[in-house]
């Protein structure tokens, strides 16, 4: 970098997956697509072990220890992958 880090704007997200408050709201894969379309370069993914399928824990994303809904980690990665492929 040519200048100190404070000279640069880094578009990030917090609780990217949430559509509302961080205690009871819905989690959404579309929230990740929206953040990417708005130029976000750093996405928060709160990943937790989900149900066990064929002896393996399937990762899920939600605001841990709250009543927010859960979404599959794989669904988020598909959205991110599609965005990256469409916007190299």
Catalytic residue among 18, 31, 60, 63: 63
Residue 63 a catalytic site member:
yes
Task: Please give the full DSSP string across 2-68, using - where no structure is assigned.
Answer: -S-GGGS---B-SSTTBSS-TTTPPB-HHHHHHHHHTT--B----EEEEEEETTEEEEEES-TTSS-
Residue 65 a catalytic site member:
no
Catalytic residue among 14, 38, 54, 87: 14
Q: Show which residues are catalytic.
A: 14, 63
């Amino acid at each position: 970098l040519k200048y100190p880090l404070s000279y640069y704007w880094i578009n990030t997200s917090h609780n990217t997956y949430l559509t509302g408050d961080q205690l009871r709201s819905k989690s959404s894969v579309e929230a990740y697509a929206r953040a990417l379309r708005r130029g976000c370069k750093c996405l928060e993914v709160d990943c937790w072990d989900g149900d066990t399928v064929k002896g393996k824990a399937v990762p899920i994303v939600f605001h841990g220890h709250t009543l927010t809904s859960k979404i599959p980690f794989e669904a988020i990665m598909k959205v991110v992958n599609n965005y990256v492929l469409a916007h190299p």
